[in-house]
Amino acid sequence: MGHIINGKQLSAEVLQQVAADVAALKAELGVTLGLAVVLVGDDPASQVYVRNKVRQAGEAGIRSIEHRLPADTSQATLNALVDSLNHDPKVHGILVQLPLPDHLDEDDIIAAINPDKDVDGFHPLNVGALAAAQPGLVPCTPLGCMIMLQQAHGNLSGKHAVVIGRSNIVGKPMAALLLQASCTVTIAHSRTRDIAAVCRDADILVAAVGRPELVKADWIKPGATVIDVGINAIERDGKRKLVGDVDFVDVAPVAGAITPVPGGVGPMTIACLMKNTVTAARKQLSDIQPAVAVGQS
């Protein structure tokens, strides 16, 4: 059995550092960090995600500002809300929970968010900054994956990393971060020929394709590190169960290290959202003078 990378434990460490950073910013500048969370409609999964994000923000000392809108909210109304949050100095991060109802243009909403407050890291300017290896806000899930990989390996330079999936949210930014770490990177996807053979050459395999238990043991180089981003609900033995894109039971004996589902990448994604909120706030507050305590001059 390979080493199981404990996302719950590692995310707790990240959140502990976030809480310390939030407290330090409040002590130095007298500012309470604010995270605006916008939820449109009543999608059950989105409601769970938002509830978890709000809870984690509170535990880290970040003030949550929730905006829950009906499913029939217009594009103009949502854009106007985002614009108001962009100009609110008490809001340091803005998260619009995806997916949005079908009649709303997600790309338009993402582009409407001030890139300095885009804690999801989806704005085109932040995407471009990541591609150019410039400072910016990085998508939370790939950022969490990188923290896990660095804990497992330390220096990633020279390793062959295969990313299964080419989404803008995970696959592409994951590949960009791995390139920045001097990995040799291959992106595999639905059109890749003999995808199992491609994966067998990987020192690091990141599965982010949304297909339950796609990756089997014979896809894995012995001793490889496997990061499973997938979260899929399936029925098994008459019960609902969450599984990843990797067949954990099959793959774990072959892998050198592996993330479980649940309890792996998921907790790290929320922890990195809080980490991004601190990063965003620091940039916005960089020109504010430190608070002067009473009795000091």
* Residue positions forming the annotated binding site: 165-167, 231
Q: Which amino acid is at 272?
A: C
Given 97, 159, 245, 275, the catalytic residue: 97
| Look-up of token digits 């130095």 | 28
Residue 245 CA to residue 279 CA, distance in Å, equals 31
| Look-up of token digits 């310390």 | 20
| Look-up of token digits 């790939």 | 142
Residue 167 CA to residue 188 CA, distance in Å, equals 11
Given 53, 172, 221, 275, the catalytic residue: 53
Residue 237 annotated in active site? no
Burial of 54: CB neighbours in 10 Å, binned 0-12, 13-18, 19+: middle
Give 118's DSSP letter: B
Coil vs helix vs strand at 247: coil
Strands (E), 215-267: 225-228, 232-236, 239-243, 257-258
Specify binding-site residues for NADP(+). 165-167, 231
Looking only at the bridges linking them, the beta strands covering 160-164 and 184-188 are: parallel
Say if residues 97 and 40 touch (Cβ distance below 8 Å). Answer: yes
Given 21, 116, 120, 203, the catalytic residue: 120
Residue 120 annotated in active site? yes
Residue 25 CA to residue 22 CA, distance in Å, equals 5
Residue 16 annotated in active site? no
| Cis amide bond preceding 262, omega within 30 | yes
Residues with catalytic function: 53, 97, 120
